């Protein structure tokens, strides 16, 4: 949401950092999805002249009614079929990674089929990671 507001106001990251009285690195961290302190949110709310509750209640949900989402590649839209929340997508990524590791280790110890299953879960985890980052970079989360 910070990145979206920054772009709506035609600020660069450097300009926003100066206006909010914080470092450029802080702006970069917040825009990449890291949490912000209450004081940071207050400063940003003042710069954008909005209520702090809008920033405190920021939710990572895909806005599937935007032009950006409509123009997203098919592989991204299919990957998020039925998934709107960034946290859910991230959990799928971690679950796939975990199952992949278990499958690969079990495959080394017992059966080649487990190894192939584990490799498939690794591919799924990597695909989720790419899709999540693609949506992050396009700023489609609202």
**Could you tell me which residue, 35 or 71, shows the higher pLDDT?**
71
Categorize the per-residue pLDDT at 18 as very low, low, confident or very high, splitting at 50, 70 and 90: very high
Torsion sign, CA atoms 108, 109, 113, 114: negative
pLDDT tens sequence across 56-114: 655 456 767 777 778 888 888 888 888 777 778 888 889 999 998 888 888 877 777 88
Please classify residue 16 by burial: count the beta carbons closer than 10 Å to its beta carbon, then call 0-12 exposed, 13-18 middle and 19+ buried.
Answer: buried
What's the gap between Cα 11 and its chain centre? 22
Q: What is the spatial distance between Cα 63 and Cα 142, in angstroms, rounded to a whole number?
A: 6
Q: What is the mean pLDDT of residues 52-56?
A: 71
Q: Which fold has domain 2-56?
A: 434 Repressor (Amino-terminal Domain) (1.10.260)
Q: Where are the domains of the chain?
A: 2-56, 67-138
Which residues lie below 8 Å from residue 78, measured CB to CB, with a gap of 6+? none
Please give the structure tokens belonging to residue 77: 């839209």
Tell me the three-class secondary structure of 47-92, residue by residue: HHCCCHHHHHCCCCEECCCCHHHHCCCHHHHHHCCCCCEHHHHHHH
Residue pointed to by tokens 């206006």: 19
Torsion of CA 123, 124, 125, 130, to 10 degrees: 90
**For the chain, what is the mean pLDDT?**
82
Please give the structure tokens belonging to residue 63: 């806005």
């Amino acid at each position: 949401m910070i990145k979206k507001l920054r772009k709506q106001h035609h600020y660069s990251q450097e300009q926003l950092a100066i206006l909010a009285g914080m470092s450029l690195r802080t702006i970069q961290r917040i825009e990449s999805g890291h949490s912000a302190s209450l004081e940071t949110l207050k400063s940003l709310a003042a710069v954008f002249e909005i209520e702090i509750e809008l920033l405190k209640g920021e939710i990572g949900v895909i806005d599937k009614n935007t032009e950006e989402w409509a123009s997203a590649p098919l592989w991204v839209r299919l990957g998020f079929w039925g998934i709107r929340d960034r946290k859910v997508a991230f959990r799928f990524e971690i679950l796939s990674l975990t199952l992949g590791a278990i499958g690969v280790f079990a495959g080394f110890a017992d059966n080649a089929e487990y190894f192939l299953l584990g490799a498939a879960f690794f591919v799924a985890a990597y695909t989720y990671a790419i899709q999540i980052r693609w949506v992050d970079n396009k700023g489609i989360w609202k």
